[in-house]
Structure 1
């Protein structure tokens, strides 16, 4: 039988200095801070009491050396002799909450110097990285404040500075959300299952401060118009910043400081659609198109390895669509400007070889490429409208060739019924654009093309009646609606288009839809011989409304 243990007579003397780990292990601590030698040898977390012996309160400090004097749970003071409790999920949450309640934060170098490699606390796990790679304390609400709050929003719970969003305020999160959920959906017409405004534009935006700002600006403009806020402070602020960044980027590109035209080209096109979303009436979109033209030519000179083919195809479609439908806003009597030059037209024609269907041009890219040809034909004739004359043989030959190309065109069999109907609507609008290209000659009561004009109007209105005004394909129909509407003399047909455009505005919230209706209201007040698509530009001049139908 082992001898009985001699009872201890003297009191236990516990050293009141040293770290908690050495006290708990009953080892002598060399008191080296922030990590003592014993903890280094045994790979332990070295923790120190935050107050000198005899203090009234003590709060544990982690190996990072941070000291939190505010206990979010208002726990009773811990006696300094009591070692720290093992880490539990609740204590970890208290630790992360106390991080935010500090009045001052340690510097990045202090955090790296004072943190043990074995520290796996939640504080390090949730700390986001800044671009320099140093962790910064996140802005997490105090637990007590969350518990006493009557309302709680996502914005209150998120850190104010996400690593992917440096330098952006809390409104940027809302704008990005609006773009992803609404703006991108309204911009694309739904012709394809993949939305390029998401899969192409968004990844680029997160690799470029300029493009990210432009995307947020487009979202802000769209949100402001949907809310009917003509003077939205957030939209104005983002628009001003976007213009400043874009001009700076163009200047650097001209000076040779920036050699990659991709971001600037896409940026110029995004700016075009920002004007579409906000319903600009000052013709600003034409400035963006001019900038995009020269940038796109340089971009297309790069190989597919530098610019992915899918992205390049989308950019070509993007510019072709916008440039083609914007030409109707140019007065052919005084301008010879062709927004779609030969080289870019040839690039777009290469897409036709693969039966290209896009989220801007649908299946009617071939029709859009005929617009510059019709514009050139009408320009030659309208320049002599003050002296009536019969068309020349060359005019008649060109007219017949274009008519055949338009009439033999047919939508692809693979497209959806909505895209098919939209293609037919574009076809009839193209015929109207061609039939009225010879000016007064085709608009006389007994003119040789008057019957064809009436037939095209009837067919176009029939197709429009079959297509709901709320389906996504309508986002790309402002141009054919404007062309058809400019030729209408029937009050019933005018009212039908008026209701349709009103529904489209309420559904999609795009400013160019409302401006299209505003312009048609002016057109319907004009005499019939002054109407038609070739006089849309004159109505703009009279009313000082400069818009694009993109």
Structure 2
């Protein structure tokens, strides 16, 4: 019979005043000086404080050691409370994220960073825009191992500067969060894009560029040299990659496809008004067609689904920027549309399209129908019986659409806002035809405006879902003639731009301000492209 274990009658006494080495190893120290028995036995460097702190002050003392270590490694390194990143970044804007999403970003940083015991000069990242004081980077000279501290030769970003680490930290803590609308608990800009970036110098540079552009706009620093330098380098690397792909030197289109999409959202973050996003979108179209021909073994299904959603969303909401009177361009071709419809069969909910992917796929249909009724000389073509049937079918599909029952209340409201914006987009396609101002057609438009504004008023302007609402806000806003409603959208977009720090939100407001000053005959979403041309504001609403 197994003998009974003797019960311990005396409490275990853990010494809290031993040497630093034993404390880090979580071993009992016999407190022999200058070298304790544990360090001698294990041939370790025995470190002692000059004055042993009391129990209550141990934590603050160790924190002081961490700060001293940081100052020794990187003299003149910025303070942990410094905001807006590197030198030359003015101001300290309010945090763009809600406390509810702090854990996911912090966990992502911790997974990618060495433990604190191994990297004493790092500090955890939160949603304040604090930057790490002394990251271990490959560009710095390697230092010898001291005690249990890791050598600097183990680098997370080999060959990159301290500045690059700060940009990556900003991306993980802030940029990736505002790019996603929070429709799902998993953020693909973290779990899909970041791992890819660590396998590709090109994609890593594009991610850092997106972070730099976002940080520069948040700080309202149009002359940010860091952002400009990274943007120039990113364009050069991307063009080089595309050239090599065309020449047959690069056979895997995955990195270039994702890179083109990342560049699209970089333009969104910086608030570009030159239409550069459409160049990136055109490149992504060709690359994505090649990518989708690869098997799921070559490209994981989750990643492929996200890339399809990424492109479908960006292309669909960008079509409103194209003048249907003069252009036959369709950013979403039949093959890509079919791939997106396969996602609908699985009731796909994404961090860009939310639960309204089905509505987004109707945009090319409405665009094609409206284009047939518009001529460059302003003379509309009378609709055929097929046109009338198509109009009725599209209206029925939009009105019968319902958000999934399992989505959050915010996602549900956003879906309803998109639904009313889609109806406005369809109704105003008839704008070329004569109609009475108080007739049934205008009544349908007024009802959709009222419904959309009601849903918007129920949704906080700082809710994460707003990061994907520029398109419906622009559609609804372009139809407004009521000064009070215009002011409501003005305040909303201003709050959104300040809170999320995305330049596209501010540019959307700028465009609407011009449209609100124009005659009523120039109102409506089909005239957004003309307002863009008149005022040279070429943007997408992604």
User: TM-score with structure 2 length normalisation?
Assistant: 0.74
3-state SS of the aligned residue for 2:429? coil
3-state SS of the aligned residue for 1:180? helix
CA contact (8 A) 1:160 1:170 kept: no
One of 389, 395, 398 as aligned partner of 2:390: 398
One of 348, 360, 363 as aligned partner of 1:368: 360
CA contact (8 A) 1:382 1:438 kept: no
Classify 1:497/1:245 alpha carbon distance in 2 versus 1 (closer, same or farther; 3 Å): same
CA contact (8 A) 1:381 1:439 kept: no
One of 264, 276, 287 as aligned partner of 1:272: 264
3-state SS of the aligned residue for 2:398? helix
Cα distance in structure 2, aligned partners of 1:517 and 1:199: 32
CA offsets 1:445-490 (integer angstroms, 9 cap, x no match): 1454111000000000000000000000000000000000000000
State the partner residue of 2:516.
524
One of 239, 243, 246 as aligned partner of 1:247: 239
Larger Rg: 1
C-alpha displacement of 1:163: 2.7
> Does 1:204 find its partner at 2:196?
yes
CA contact (8 A) 1:442 1:449 kept: no
State the partner residue of 1:170.
162
One of 484, 489, 492 as aligned partner of 2:481: 489
CA contact (8 A) 2:373 2:382 kept: no
CA offsets 1:118-137 (integer angstroms, 9 cap, x no match): xxxxxxxxxxxxxxxxxxxx
> Does 1:90 find its partner at 2:47?
yes
CA contact (8 A) 1:367 1:427 kept: yes
Segments of 4+ moved more than 4 angstroms: 138-141
CA offsets 1:105-126 (integer angstroms, 9 cap, x no match): xxxxxxxxxxxxxxxxxxxxxx
Cα distance in structure 1, aligned partners of 2:196 and 2:435: 49
State the partner residue of 2:322.
330
Where do 1:97-496 residues align within 5 Å? 154-156=132-134, 158-159=136-137, 161=139, 163-383=155-375, 386-388=378-380, 390-441=382-433, 444-496=436-488
3-state SS of the aligned residue for 1:197? helix
CA contact (8 A) 1:436 1:443 kept: no
Cα distance in structure 2, aligned partners of 1:153 and 1:436: 48
CA offsets 1:389-445 (integer angstroms, 9 cap, x no match): 542222211110100010000000000000000000000000000000122327641
State the partner residue of 2:535.
543
Classify 1:240/1:333 alpha carbon distance in 2 versus 1 (closer, same or farther; 3 Å): same
Cα distance in structure 2, aligned partners of 1:454 and 1:200: 42
3-state SS of the aligned residue for 1:219? helix
Classify 1:237/1:153 alpha carbon distance in 2 versus 1 (closer, same or farther; 3 Å): closer
Cα distance in structure 2, aligned partners of 1:239 and 1:153: 21
Unaligned runs of 5+ in 2: 1-42, 49-68, 74-117, 122-129, 140-153
3-state SS of the aligned residue for 1:503? helix
C-alpha displacement of 1:166: 2.0
CA contact (8 A) 2:134 2:162 kept: no
Cα distance in structure 2, aligned partners of 1:90 and 1:524: 70
C-alpha displacement of 1:156: 3.5
3-state SS of the aligned residue for 1:302? coil
3-state SS of the aligned residue for 2:47? helix
Cα distance in structure 2, aligned partners of 1:358 and 1:163: 34
C-alpha displacement of 1:169: 1.1
Query: Taking CA–CA contacts closer than 8 Å with sequence separation of 6 or more, which of the two structures ends up with the larger relative contact order?
Result: 2
Cα distance in structure 2, aligned partners of 1:307 and 1:414: 29
Cα distance in structure 2, aligned partners of 1:459 and 1:242: 43
CA offsets 1:18-68 (integer angstroms, 9 cap, x no match): xxxxxxxxxxxxxxxxxxxxxxxxxxxxxxxxxxxxxxxxxxxxxxxxxxx
Classify 1:451/1:139 alpha carbon distance in 2 versus 1 (closer, same or farther; 3 Å): closer
CA contact (8 A) 2:181 2:468 kept: yes
CA contact (8 A) 1:221 1:235 kept: yes
Classify 1:444/1:385 alpha carbon distance in 2 versus 1 (closer, same or farther; 3 Å): farther
CA contact (8 A) 1:323 1:339 kept: yes
CA contact (8 A) 1:411 1:424 kept: yes
C-alpha displacement of 1:197: 0.2
Cα distance in structure 1, aligned partners of 2:508 and 2:521: 20
C-alpha displacement of 1:515: 0.2
3-state SS of the aligned residue for 1:382? coil
3-state SS of the aligned residue for 1:497? helix
User: TM-score with structure 1 length normalisation?
Assistant: 0.73
Cα distance in structure 2, aligned partners of 1:491 and 1:211: 45
Cα distance in structure 1, aligned partners of 2:426 and 2:260: 30
Cα distance in structure 2, aligned partners of 1:385 and 1:444: 22
CA contact (8 A) 2:137 2:157 kept: no
